[in-house]
Amino acid sequence: MSYFYTLEISDPRFESDGLRHITVKSKYLKGRGDITVFIPEGLAERKDLPFAILLHGVYGSHWAWAMKGGVHKTLQRLIDEGKVPPMILAMPSDGLWGDGSGYLKHSWADYENWIIKDVPHALWESIDQVSEKSVQFIGGLSMGGYGAMRLGAKYGKQFRGISAHSSVTKLHYLTAFVSDDWNAYQFPEVESSVLETCIVHQDTLPPLRFDCGIEDDLINANRNLHNRLLKADIGHVYQEFKGGHFWEYWEEHVEKSLIFFAQQL
């Protein structure tokens, strides 16, 4: 019996570049949710492969990591070069509320459990190469970096590693990006800062890395998070590179996330 009321998956005859598309009826979204999945070449007979959930930023959707950042091509290259073992990418929408849901529990829909519960179940049901035995990772950019670090820390027993780029580090920093009424972002029972979530859940925190471009408006927030984590004696890797809050930066540096994930296997 399916975990979902409905699950639709793209026909392999019409797929390209190893990209597959899934739409499920989610009880947490109270509607349908979309996931783009990348399956590298030559894995038809493989089982229980690890998978990484990659979260997009504001304004984006499930297709952004692949169709704006080419992450699937980066992963295939790294596998071909022997730098990472085969793994699957799961790239869900954030639920498509407003300019961005923040991957949080709202009063009317639960965008947190959409990621934490529904996305893995969708893969287990529809992708032969993964199962409940598969190791899971989580990563993201900007709002998705916020989601990856907050959810990865809160649900540390689920994930083997966390990696984030150009991250929003506190919920109110989203005001710089969204046009929605800020009152709508007053969510119930939310640990809204990445630092707070890491401190509360530090005993189960998976290996964590994050980076930011030195021309990014979020650089000081990321530096502050790094320094506060150091003061709290919470282990992590933090890096800075040239660049701003643009896809050119994320396309270049997502390789570091994928290699980091591979190092945790």
Using alpha carbons, list the distances in angstroms from residue 12 to 15, 20, 29, 196, 201: 5, 8, 27, 43, 41
pLDDT at residue number 244: 98
pLDDT at residue number 191: 62
Q: What is the token pair recorded at 163?
A: 């990696």
pLDDT at residue number 15: 96
- Are 93 and 33 a contacting pair, CB within 8 Å? yes
Return the domain boundaries, the chain: 7-263
User: What is 7-263's CATH number?
Assistant: 3.40.50.1820
Under-70 pLDDT residues of the chain: 182-191
Polymer length in residues for the chain? 265
Q: Please give the full DSSP string across 157-178, using - where no structure is assigned.
A: TT-SEEEEES---BGGGGGGT-
Using alpha carbons, list the distances in angstroms from residue 165 to 47, 143, 257, 259: 30, 9, 9, 14
- Are 148 and 70 a contacting pair, CB within 8 Å? no
pLDDT at residue number 171: 82
Q: What is the token pair recorded at 28?
A: 């947490």
Beta bridge partners of 37: 20, 90
pLDDT at residue number 118: 98
* Exposure of 212 in the CB half-sphere (CA atoms within 13 A): 22
Distance of alpha carbon 258 from its chain centroid, rounded? 12
